[in-house]
């Protein structure tokens, strides 16, 4: 049994297509076929029903799936649990939404360290989808994200929301802002949707970015208007070059703490959730 086989199995269980799995895993279809066959031989049961029109899990395959997840999770847990930075009693790997890292990370980690001085932290800014996948595989212990991806093994908890405000190099009035010089933000699907509804005419903007930092970078370089984090907006306006677009609606993005279901009740994880939630309380 090799991890490769499990990864292939799980991906195939998701895509239900040898070709798509081959593409996603950057291997050939014949290799997918061989790996699945190898795994089936190892467990002693057929795991997939292959027909000309698609692939599906057999009852055995369905029963095997949670075990495959558990194995992969355990393996990843094992790999990192054994190496702990010297002096620390344990290691926590945190994921943080890309957008939030720049502004909030410092505060959070300072607070974490104060409450958990014995714990070492490894932090990785990333996107929601990737963080959900990493929580599942055990690469991350805890994540703060915008877009929870429902999954039976994941547990999400709302910890508040962050506010985005519109700023501009040109005008403080919403009516005067045109799509041509507007930077549209798609920080998350939910955010994008809200954005479209509240300012439908700006949704046709020529430039669309998925990160608050990038919006700032663009606006600083080329001028124009766009939504940025409240805190960033205040800083930029104080700098003199930017104006707050006062009559533009504020956009609120909900923030979630995410953990693997297995850790839901662990005191350590509860503590972290509380500390993050306090930020928005």
Partner DNA sequence: AAGCCGTGATCGGGTTTTCCGATCAATACC
Partner DNA sequence: GGTATTGATCGGAAAACCCGATCACGGCTT
Q: In the complex, which residues of this chain contact its own copies (CB under 8 A)?
A: 1-3, 42-45, 60-61, 63-64, 67-68, 70-71, 74-75, 77-79, 81-84
What are the residues whose beta carbons fall under 8 Å from the beta carbon of 275, sequence distance 6 or more? 108, 111, 112, 115
- The entry of its own copies, DNA, none near residue 38 (CB within 5 to 8 angstroms by kind) is DNA
- The entry of its own copies, DNA, none near residue 35 (CB within 5 to 8 angstroms by kind) is DNA
User: What are 143's strand-pairing partners?
Assistant: 95, 258
- The entry of its own copies, DNA, none near residue 26 (CB within 5 to 8 angstroms by kind) is DNA
Q: Does 36 contact DNA by CB under 7 A?
A: yes
SS3 158: strand
> Considering the complex, what minimum distance in angstroms separates the CB of residue 45 from its own copies?
5
- The entry of DNA, its own copies, none near residue 17 (CB within 5 to 8 angstroms by kind) is DNA
SS3 81: helix
The residue ranges of DSSP E strands in the chain, in sequence order, are: 48-51, 54-57, 90-97, 119-126, 142-145, 154-168, 182-185, 207-209, 225-229, 243-244, 251-260
Closest to 10 measured CA to CA, from 76, 77, 72: 72
Cα angle, residue 173 at apex, residues 167 and 177 outer, rounded to 5°: 75
Choose the stretch contacting DNA; rule: CB under 7 A; options: 46-54, 93-101, 163-171, 172-180.
46-54
Compare residues 47 and 215 and give the one whose CB is closer to DNA.
47
Q: Does 50 contact DNA by CB under 7 A?
A: yes
Q: Which residues of the chain form contacts with DNA (CB under 7 A)? A: 2, 4, 16-20, 26-31, 33-38, 50-55
């Amino acid at each position: 049994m090799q991890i490769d086989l499990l990864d292939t199995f799980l991906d195939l269980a998701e895509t239900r297509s040898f070709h798509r799995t081959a593409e996603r895993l950057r291997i050939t279809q014949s290799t997918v076929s061989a790996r699945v066959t190898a795994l089936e031989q190892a467990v002693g049961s057929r795991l997939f029903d292959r027909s000309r029109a698609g692939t599906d899990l057999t009852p055995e395959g369905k029963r095997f799936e949670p075990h495959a997840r558990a194995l992969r999770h355990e393996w990843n847990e094992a790999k990192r649990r054994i190496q702990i930075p010297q002096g620390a009693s344990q290691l926590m790997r945190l994921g943080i939404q890309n957008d939030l890292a720049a502004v909030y990370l410092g505060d959070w980690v300072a607070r974490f360290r104060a409450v958990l001085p014995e714990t070492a932290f490894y932090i990785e800014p990333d996107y929601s989808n990737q963080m959900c996948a990493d929580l599942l595989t055990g690469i991350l212990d805890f994540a703060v994200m915008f877009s929870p991806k429902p999954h039976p093994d994941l547990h999400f908890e709302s910890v508040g929301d962050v506010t985005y405000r519109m700023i501009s190099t040109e005008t403080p009035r919403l009516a005067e802002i045109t799509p041509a010089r507007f930077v549209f933000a798609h920080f998350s699907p939910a955010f994008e949707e809200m954005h479209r509804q509240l300012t439908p005419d700006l949704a046709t903007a020529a430039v669309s970015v998925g990160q608050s930092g990038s919006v700032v970078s663009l606006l600083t370089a080329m001028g124009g208007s766009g939504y940025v984090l409240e805190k960033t907006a205040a800083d930029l306006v104080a700098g003199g070059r930017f104006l707050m677009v006062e009559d533009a609606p504020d956009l609120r993005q909900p923030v979630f703490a995410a953990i693997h279901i297995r850790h839901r009740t662990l005191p350590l994880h509860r503590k972290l959730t509380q500390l993050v939630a306090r930020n928005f309380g």
